[in-house]
Amino acid sequence: MGDMLKRLSVFVLTLMAGAMVLGGEVMAQQYRSEPWQMGFQEPRSPSAERIFAFHDMLLVIEAAIVIFVLGIMTYIIVKFNSKANPTPSKTSHNTLLEVVWTIVPIIILVVIAVPSLKLLYFTDRTYDPELTIKVTGNQWYWTYEYPDNNDIEFDSVYVPDDELEEGQPRMLSVDSPLVLPVDTNIRILLASNDVIHNFAMPALGLKLDTTPGRANETWVSINDEGTYYGMCSELCGVNHGFMPVQIEAVSKEAFNEWLVSAEEEFGSNDSRSDEVVKFAAALGQ
Ligand SMILES: [Cu+2]
């Protein structure tokens, strides 16, 4: 009897493990914020890595300043209150002290400014883009274009609650996600058809306004394959909360395969443009 129970439990465990492996294969890795999450998501792009590291450095500096100021204040309150120190000193100037409390904050600001500017320039643009995409904000959905790839153009609209499929997070999923290759320098051009929107993807360190009448530029190189979730982050009207950003990051090979079908579905004609051939060649395809 015991033997049979043991065999049964091994069988059930094997089934469960099998289901987990299968589930893992079917469901792509999802990168998004979790309920009650504290802090950032794991960085998944060179920009995000640097932004989050800079944030951590600032946090240390800020904490040190807060502790220092709090310490001095506590010391003064205890040592120099009217009971402990009934006859206060009449000192009004101290040259050394005044020089120190001017110079030290300047040094702290310079220590912050140098890496801050370096980071700004790093995240600003890539000088060697392998792929260009254009993102246009609309009330209330996104339009994605691949100008180098047969002018692929499609709209990306959120999936309402009653149409969600299994595994699709609510209010974050779209019908046609932005498909991008990993480990590729991607130039992103941003524009808007109506009001100011904001194209934001936390795990990739992306957050830039799409402004009417103006083209903004940024870039990304995605480290890991998977599904990334973000959202419009500029209050843009009544359905602002219903224009999520979903990026499918796939291997370069899978991306090239997707390009072929996307050109047929969304392209301006059905043949591969010169730019696609060039891009594919650059990728060694
Ligand atoms: Cu918006």
Mean pLDDT across the chain:
88
Evaluate if residue 155 carries a pLDDT over 80.
yes
Residue 226: per-residue pLDDT: 95
Confidence of residue 279 (pLDDT cuts 50, 70, 90): low
Residue 195 C-alpha to ligand 1 middle, in angstroms?
Answer: 8
Residue 199 C-alpha to ligand 1 middle, in angstroms?
Answer: 8
Residue 14: per-residue pLDDT: 52
36/283: higher pLDDT: 36
Average pLDDT over residues 172-201: 96
| Residues listed for the chain | 285
Residue 75 C-alpha to ligand 1 middle, in angstroms?
Answer: 50
Residue 197 C-alpha to ligand 1 middle, in angstroms?
Answer: 4
Confidence of residue 184 (pLDDT cuts 50, 70, 90): very high
Evaluate if residue 20 carries a pLDDT over 60.
no
**Bridge pairing between strands 197-201 and 206-210:** antiparallel
Which residue carries 């339009």 as its tokens?
143
Residue 28: per-residue pLDDT: 77
Average pLDDT over residues 112-120: 97
Evaluate if residue 269 carries a pLDDT over 70.
no
Q: Residue 70 belongs to what H/E stretch?
A: helix 46-79
Q: CA dist 250 to 49, 84, 85, 141, 265, Å? A: 20, 69, 70, 23, 19
Confidence of residue 23 (pLDDT cuts 50, 70, 90): very low
Residue 264: per-residue pLDDT: 85
Q: CA dist 66 to 3, 54, 77, 93, 205, Å? A: 64, 18, 16, 25, 27
Confidence of residue 21 (pLDDT cuts 50, 70, 90): very low
pTM: predicted TM-score of the whole model, two decimal places: 0.78
Evaluate if residue 159 carries a pLDDT over 90.
yes
Evaluate if residue 154 carries a pLDDT over 70.
yes
Residue 78 C-alpha to ligand 1 middle, in angstroms?
Answer: 53
Evaluate if residue 1 carries a pLDDT over 70.
no
Residue 266: per-residue pLDDT: 87
Residue 194 C-alpha to ligand 1 middle, in angstroms?
Answer: 10
Evaluate if residue 13 carries a pLDDT over 60.
no
Question: What is the C-alpha separation between 181 and 203, in angstroms, rounded?
Answer: 16
Residue 132 C-alpha to ligand 1 middle, in angstroms?
Answer: 22
Residue 234 C-alpha to ligand 1 middle, in angstroms?
Answer: 6
SS3 content of the chain, % helix, strand, coil (to 5): 45, 20, 35
Instruction: Give the range among 105-114, 251-260, 267-276 with minimum mean pLDDT.
Output: 267-276
Residue 10: per-residue pLDDT: 54
Q: Residue 132 belongs to what H/E stretch?
A: strand 131-138
Evaluate if residue 132 carries a pLDDT over 70.
yes
Evaluate if residue 120 carries a pLDDT over 50.
yes
Evaluate if residue 24 carries a pLDDT over 50.
no
Average pLDDT over residues 124-152: 92
Question: What is the C-alpha separation between 115 and 126, in angstroms, rounded?
Answer: 18
